[in-house]
Amino acid sequence: MTISKIGEGIANGKIILLGEHSVVYHQPSIAIPFPAVQIKTTVASQTGKTKIDCDFYHGLIEEMPELLESLKETIRVCLERLEQTKTPLHLTIESSIPAERGMGSSAAVAVATTRALFDYFDTPLSQKELLEIVDISEKIAHGNPSGLDALMTSSSIPYYYIKGEPFQPINLHLNAWLIVADTGITGQTKEAVTSVAKKLNGPDQDQYKIKIDELGVLALQGKIALEKNQPLLLGKQMTMVHQLLQQLDVSNQTLDLLVQIALQNEALGAKLTGGGRGGCMIALAKDEKTAQKISHALKEAGAKKTWLYEMRDPDEE
């Protein structure tokens, strides 16, 4: 086996465009890769014991804290599959994906690290094997992963997804800009998912079930808007989704404020993204100038960070 001197792996962030929470109840969802934030893992040779350098830890792999167990498992599984369990390595992980903001940072670390280790040992890695390895890591990080984060952080195209069914690639034909804003507050996905489940089993369950169905219809219609370059329609759908998520009590004051600010600044639509009660919100703009204006207004209103992303029709290159 030829060993390259440095192995490199990259993964991007992910954004749920439509369908968060309702996807848990087998309604459709749409997620997109978000390359404005990335994780890069570099693997180099090392004498002595395997060592890690990342934002949360600098030291030997064997002394890594419990918090990084999923990363440790990713490395262990990769080295086992590569039959290199005894080779000491130096792994460096650089990330611009904020943790616990619904951008898939844990899956992205696993994707980038797996890609880097296979690259270092010059071994081909199929998408199937990559997703298998990341799934093992995500089970430790999240318990019951849908596989959505693993797919989106390793993909370059959006997907339509219904739990239990195969992921369907979306043929994106949209010319618009996406603005993502971080509230600076850790997302509360688990609590929000539990609270929705309680509502769906509570006295007003019929009323909440209708909202889940409506979220599903909006995701289905959103797919068409993405494929047929209908940014105005997609914007409207996004705002309607935010209102439904508010009614399900998974938003919070900061997310609501940022959504309102985006809409007051010519956003075509805006909503929270991911689990909610913190994390990030997204807004859609017709062009770059408007996206810049919205981004500026969101920062003025307290957003910790914003990112702009051009959603471009590939046929218009």
- Length, in residues, of the chain: 317
Nearer to ligand PMV, 81 or 277 (CB): 277
187 interacts with ligand PMV by CB under 6 A: yes
Nearer to ligand PMV, 216 or 274 (CB): 274
List of residues 6+ apart from 61 with CB closer than 8 A: 49, 50, 51, 52, 72, 75, 91
Nearer to ligand PMV, 92 or 195 (CB): 195
List of residues 6+ apart from 298 with CB closer than 8 A: 179, 181, 258, 261, 262, 283, 306
| Piece of 3-11, 121-129, 186-194, 264-272 that binds ligand PMV (CB under 6 A) | 186-194
List of residues 6+ apart from 173 with CB closer than 8 A: 226, 227, 228, 229, 313, 314, 315
Question: Minimal distance in Å, beta carbon 23 to ligand PMV?
Answer: 5
Whether the CB-CB separation of 241 and 271 falls below 8 Å is answered with yes
Question: Minimal distance in Å, beta carbon 255 to ligand PMV?
Answer: 12
Rounded to whole angstroms, how far apart are CA atoms 105 and 235?
Answer: 26
Rounded to whole angstroms, how far apart are CA atoms 134 and 176?
Answer: 31
Question: Minimal distance in Å, beta carbon 202 to ligand PMV?
Answer: 18
Instruction: Please select the residue that binds ligand PMV; options are 11, 20, 117, 285, rule is CB under 6 A.
Output: 20
Catalogue the E-assigned strands of 96-231: 159-161, 168-169, 176-182
Nearer to ligand PMV, 20 or 182 (CB): 20
Site string for ligand PMV, 249-288 (x = CB under 6 A): -------------------------xx---x---------
Amino acid letter for position 151:
L
195 interacts with ligand PMV by CB under 6 A: no
Amino acid letter for position 63:
E
155 interacts with ligand PMV by CB under 6 A: no
137 interacts with ligand PMV by CB under 6 A: no
Alpha helices in 202-264 (DSSP H): 205-227, 231-247, 253-264
Closest CA to 168 of 9, 19, 13: 19
Site string for ligand PMV, 96-135 (x = CB under 6 A): ------x---------------------------------
Nearer to ligand PMV, 38 or 92 (CB): 38
For residue 60, the cross-strand partners are: 51
| Piece of 14-22, 113-121, 205-213, 233-241 that binds ligand PMV (CB under 6 A) | 14-22
Rounded to whole angstroms, how far apart are CA atoms 112 and 94?
Answer: 10
Q: Among residue numbers 24 through 43, which ones bind ligand PMV (CB under 6 A)?
A: 24
23 interacts with ligand PMV by CB under 6 A: yes
Instruction: Please select the residue that binds ligand PMV; options are 123, 146, 247, 260, rule is CB under 6 A.
Output: 146
Q: Which chain residues interact with ligand PMV by CB under 6 A?
A: 16, 20-21, 23-24, 102, 146, 187, 189, 193, 274-275, 279
